[in-house]
Amino acid sequence: MFKNLPLFIGLRYTRSKRREGFVSFISGFSLFAMALGVMALILVLSVMNGFDREIKSRLLQVVPHITGTPLGGVSAAEIANLRGQLLSSDSPVISVTPLAQSFVMLSFESQQTGVMMQAMDSDWPSASKLKDHMISGYVEQLQPGEFGIILGSQVARKLGAFIGDKVQLTVPKVTVTPAGIFPRIKSFVVTGVFKVGAQVDASLSFVHQQDARKLLQLGDRFQGVQIQVDDAYQADSWLSNNSHILPAANWRTWTQSMGTLFQAMRMEKLVVSLLLSVIVAVAAFNIVASLVLMVADKRKDIAVVRTLGAPSSLVIKVFMVQGMAVGLMGIFVGTVLGCVLAYFIGDIVSFIESVLGFYLFDPSVYLITALPSKLVFADVAKVVASATAISFLATVYPAWRAGQVLPAEALRYDQ
């Protein structure tokens, strides 16, 4: 009667071990997917933060931190008086200079492009920053009355113009004469080319402040003032406390003037984060699958434990702990790997480029030639918190189903 009992027990034990091995494989895959998703999220967000930092730091080399433009303009005496008020030992303001700018169209041979023309003087503090980014020519070559212009590298490339070439500058104003209405056009000689490494290289040009005022018909006045502070990221807070220094002026900070760019960068970061979160979601589905299989495999064990007096809540907690253990291990591994890779990604890419002999970011094509990275604790915390929440939610339904197993039905057909 019992001659086949050892074979039956052996087959049942083999099937049980196979089922447990398959469940272990699913759990391991869940851990790997969770670690991969968390690592990818941290790494990509750090690289995007690095690009954001690089672009902002380069923009702030040539873009005024704060601008104020009164309706009737401002005189040189008023600017000097304002400079005396703001430049003190305990003030964050480091420079106050006149502002004169306008959107213009540059033409050279058969090429045209629109740029922002800004006034510049070699005596202004902003000129010293521009000197560090000149790739051809000198800021000092901008002399009053000679109508010279310094172009961004991308502007010069698009126009095909270089030092000594004459470009036609068209102001969006017209001149009314007895012969009719004519656009205001003036020839400028290219005296320099600068390269910051941001999109201002394709949208900015500088002329001498006297030539700019003459072209814009400002007389001896300026359109407004531009203020530089020691910490550009505090420009908004400084302006909120000091906008009264120039009454009836339209004030703007660099975050507002470049608002479209930064909004696009934030949206890009959000979209990429959501796309990469799919990996974490896949890991959560794997946790659900592994727990469902485990509940099916352990039904009789659950029934025995329930028969011995264990409440349903204890069974639910056991399976939730089991699922959370897999999720938290994956999150921990992914966080460590992501932080390490984010910190050393620039060196890793440079090493790969040196070994393989090619550039990931070709200097002739890209404005930023190295892969930047900035590890932000807030982003890491958000990734860890969201992955933990997803892991917890993934354990709720399988654990609840385990708690609903009825001992009588599970043991009814057990031999």
pLDDT (tens digit, 9 = 90+) per residue, 58-103?
Answer: 777 778 888 888 888 888 888 888 888 888 767 788 888 888 888 8
What average pLDDT does the chain have? 81
307/301 Cα distance (integer angstroms) = 10
pLDDT over 50 (residue 13): no
Write the DSSP symbol of residue 61.
Answer: T
298/216 Cα distance (integer angstroms) = 83
Give the chain's largest Cα–Cα span.
Answer: 123
How high is the pLDDT of residue 149? Answer: 92
Separation in Å, CA 76 to CA 86, 97, 99, 218, 223: 15, 9, 11, 12, 11
Q: Categorize the per-residue pLDDT at 7 as very low, low, confident or very high, splitting at 50, 70 and 90.
A: very low
196/60 Cα distance (integer angstroms) = 10
Q: Cα dihedral angle (368, 374, 380, 382), rounded to 10 degrees?
A: -60
How high is the pLDDT of residue 9? Answer: 35
The 10s digit of each residue's pLDDT in 337-353 is 999 999 888 888 888 87
Exposure string (b/e) for 85-99, b if CB count within 10 Å is 16 or more? ebeeeeebbebbbbb
- Scanning 175-249, the segments in alpha helix (DSSP H) are 209-216, 235-242
Q: Categorize the per-residue pLDDT at 364 as very low, low, confident or very high, splitting at 50, 70 and 90.
A: low
The residue with tokens 């659900």 is 288
403/241 Cα distance (integer angstroms) = 60
What is the mean pLDDT of the segment spanning 290-311? 76
Residue 147 gets the label, from left (phi > 0), alpha (psi -120 to 50) or beta, of left
How high is the pLDDT of residue 413? Answer: 55
pLDDT over 60 (residue 282): yes
149/143 Cα distance (integer angstroms) = 10
| 353: exposed, middle or buried (Cβ count in 10 Å: 0-12, 13-18, 19+) | middle
Q: Which tokens hold the place of 114? A: 């629109």
